[in-house]
Structure 1
């Protein structure tokens, strides 16, 4: 799939500065499903064209992605148009290869960022099912584009078959490059409903972030939101509510007393727990950290924000959780430097894995209670005897607090997969024995609001080696 962007006029050279790609070099970037090539078919003072070409590996695409148009017949996941048409893959490539331009950054020539340029974007080939040329124009014309959509026949040898859903799209407008990239980033997946990633609340945040400044006032914003989020009603509703609020400048009927109350919504226990874990790891002075049992990557997301970490890793026994983790972290869109310091891999804490070795700190967040008690000695050896990080931050539920959960029957545990839940005394005894055998100092902390006699919802032990 190919996208070209042409700048014409006196400031055509601004294109290479904004894209941070040298005209004399062929440059590449990696996707989980193939490669991205960036090059300039032409470059001059008054006309410059940059091209982004995606070379998709069909087998890698099926191996790494959630689903494709393969529901209708047995080989559908292998026999489809995904490697050849502009789709959500192109949006990922734009974000990956042109992240600085998309985010409005240009260190060398900052004056170019908001400069309107005479731009022409050409996409070959774009699918537009359920709307065709009419939908394309409804999406782009309100943004000031001159739209030329050339529809392709199903087969030139059989004209009686008619036309297919594919178009070569040419867009012309005078606007800053960052706006063009933002429009393409959002609207290409809107036109093609086949997404290569899971649609979660993160996609709502991404849509609102990348579309800020133009989606709010777009006459077809409801169509944009609905198709971008593949008609998932709860997500569509939350996005539309935000857009309506931004368009109207907020709810004017809301009183001054009501606004703070709305913002002071109680923080979820899981978020409190992760923030506390991240803080304890940071305070340890660690330069490298591994999240043992990373799940969908929420802690990793916090750790990536800290510049002190030169190496971060996440591991989980579940492959599907690691897939969700990549989605949550927007793996394909992470800047190259972020991806270089982050690694994800599948493993079990009940076995020795040399990939755990060499980290200054390890986080084990709400993991041990998912193991059968007779597997705990293996976990202890794996982490404290073999990997032996300088700091281990470990949390587990406090069973004494369960009486505060009204819908939890007496004697039941908080999660169906929990094999046990310890009281504070039981956790203290286990942690002290582990620390004693492996030469770790130990400190305990409550996680969440403490209550007299029953403690906090969760409990934390911080192990420090050799103290």
Structure 2
């Protein structure tokens, strides 16, 4: 099976630096299902094409359950792009998938003109278009006909994608969506596949209109894994407007990223070193905190053991050097109960947490966090319900698990009540692009202890 990546960026041969594969020779890799080759059928200053060819060894394939006796040898796996090609891509272009380039770091971070061709791809024109168009690609497909004596079209298409994207984004799109179109992974799908999906889908999957289908197929229709992946995506991303979903390349940072940046900016402003992430979920904020050396002790707390397991995977705790690992702890606790382990910290963060608490239980959270734990600073973010009118098609609240969403006046009144009851001074800020009438999509309160 074959995949080609072409650029007309000048000099086009810089593609070799981005892929970390020299255009002057053929590169060979042994992969679990055969042999992968990377070569350059053309390499000039004006145009450069890298080809990934996967030669599948049928003896290394495992026949599908309930398949006929010779299915290991008689199948489309050596020819049609599938999860086998995605796995080979991940191995041979590992640095490029991460967006890392020692020789051309600025180019790796910039969108460049790209054309990607997959001569044989399992899927329909409609599905291929639905998957790739929201990511900024111009999609051109041609159904592959059956033999003339049979007539009609097969279940395969020839695919051409054109656009200006970061090479890393393009490769991650392929890494996720090739198995989705194939819908028949060649290996056992374990829980760690969720982390692969979230990592490769960072920045685009949460806002994709077909994210449910993508998660379900990528995770081999395993309901528990799909549910967990979607919950983590929803917790980390606000609904995207139609315009945001269609922006191809140089789009603004997603609201979830802006929110994390605003929280970290607030923690930096107060010189916090020992930080609690209360209701840490799958570890989106924890990952950002770990990267900042200002934070010398970081504790993630959540009531869900599954969320903590996901956070541990996301942080790769088992692979961190000892010095780094000693900075981080994950603890299971309910935020509506007093917990001495949460006392004596410089700061605590409740990022998109309070709206998930039933209103009658909210005073218990307030007493446990502001009264008992009593950190020097508390950063709280929550949706601004007034802004919801800008989300086309949104009916009700932004998340199915939200118990309430406050107006700016309601949030300000709550924050003022907290400050008077527990001895904190509070300032309120908006996060995200503000609207003159409805304000910003997210509202942030910075509480600082006064007594």
Normalising by structure 2, report the TM-score.
0.54
Counterpart of 1:155 (choices 125, 147, 154) is 147
Partner of 2:23 in structure 1? 23
CA distance in 1, matches of 2:172, 2:107: 16
Secondary structure at the aligned position of 1:264 is classed as strand
Q: Secondary structure at the match of 1:13?
A: helix
**Alpha-carbon contact 2:117-2:160 (below 8 Å) kept:** yes
The answer on whether the counterparts of 1:7 and 1:47 sit within 8 Å (CA) in structure 2 is yes
Displacement after TM superposition at 1:48 (Å): 0.2
**Is 1:36–2:42 an aligned residue pair?**
no
Task: Give the match for residue 123 of structure 1.
Answer: 118
> Which residue of structure 2 aligns with residue 363 of structure 1?
none
Deviations 1:299-343 (A, max 9, x none): xx9887669xxxxxxxxxxxxxxxxxxxxxxxxxxxxxxxxxxxx
CA contact (8 A) 1:11 1:117 kept: no
- Distance in 2 (CA, whole Å) between partners of 1:176 and 1:20 is 15
Q: Is the 8 A contact 1:26 1:38 kept in 2?
A: yes
In structure 2, the CA distance between the partners of 1:265 and 1:116, relative to structure 1 (3 Å rule), is closer
SS at match of 1:178: helix
Whether the aligned pair in 2 keeps the contact of 1:125 and 1:166 (CA below 8 Å) is yes
Structure 1 residue 8: deviation in Å?
Answer: 0.9
Partner of 1:264: 301
Partner in structure 2 of residue 231 of structure 1: 221
How far apart, in 2, do the equivalents of 1:80 and 1:165 lie? 13
CA distance in structure 2 between the partners assigned to 1:227 and 1:217 by the alignment: 17
Q: Match for residue 102 of structure 1? A: 97
Q: CA deviation at 1:215?
A: 0.4
Alpha-carbon distance in structure 1 between the residues aligned to 2:280 and 2:229: 21
Q: Which residue number corresponds to residue 339 of structure 2?
A: none
Cα distance in 2, alignment partners of residues 231 and 260 from structure 1? 28
State the Cα distance separating 1:155 from its structure 2 match: 1.4
What is aligned with 2:59?
59
SS in 2 for 1:151: strand
d(CA) in 2 for partners of 1:61 and 1:178?
29
Quickly say closer, same or farther: Cα 1:303–1:227, change in 2 above 3 A.
closer
What is the distance in 2 between the residues matched to 1:239 and 1:303? 21
The answer to whether the aligner puts 1:140 opposite 2:122 as a matched pair is no
Q: Per-residue deviation at 1:56?
A: 0.6
Mapped contact 2:13–2:23 kept (Cα < 8 A): no
Counterpart position of 2:169: 179
Does structure 1 conserve the Cα–Cα contact (< 8 Å) formed by 2:86 and 2:176? yes
Aligned positions, number: 265
Unaligned runs of 5+ in 1: 276-297, 308-467
> Based on CA coordinates, which of the two structures has the bigger radius of gyration?
1
Alpha-carbon distance in structure 2 between the residues aligned to 1:97 and 1:246: 30
Whole-angstrom distance in 2 between the partners of 1:260 and 1:58: 48
Superimposed CA distance per residue, residues 373-398 of structure 1 (whole angstroms, 9 cap, x where no aligned partner): xxxxxxxxxxxxxxxxxxxxxxxxxx
Q: Is the 8 A contact 1:86 1:127 kept in 2?
A: yes
Q: Which aligned pairs between 1:193-342 and structure 2 lie closer than 5 A?
A: 193-248=183-238, 259-260=278-279, 263-264=300-301
1:93 maps to: 88
Deviations 1:54-103 (A, max 9, x none): 011001123xxxx53x6342322331111111111111111111111100
Task: Give the Cα–Cα distance (whole angstroms) in 2 for the partners of residues 147 and 47 of structure 1.
Answer: 20
Is the Cα contact below 8 Å between 1:12 and 1:117 reproduced in 2? no
1:165-207 deviations in whole A, cap 9, x for unaligned?
1111110011110110010000000001110111111111100
Structure 2 residue 27 is matched with structure 1 residue 8: no
Task: Give me the whole-angstrom Cα distance separating, in 2, the residues matched to 1:91 and 1:124.
Answer: 15
The farther-off stretch of 149-158 and 201-210 is 149-158
Whole-angstrom CA distance in 2 between matches of 1:19 and 1:257: 39
TM-aligned CA distance change 1:233 to 1:40, over 3 Å: same
Pairwise CA RMSD: 2.9
1:114 is displaced (CA, Å) by 1.3
- Relative to 1, partners in 2 of residues 1:17 and 1:75: Cα closer, same or farther, differing over 3 Å? same
Cα deviation 1:244-298 (Å, max 9, x = unaligned): 1111267x9xxx9993587435998xx99xx9xxxxxxxxxxxxxxxxxxxxxx9
Deviation at 1:157, TM superposition (A): 3.5
> Which 5+ residue runs of structure 2 have no aligned equivalent?
239-254, 260-274, 282-299, 323-451
Distance (whole Å) between structure 1 residues aligned to residue 230 and residue 317 of structure 2: 27
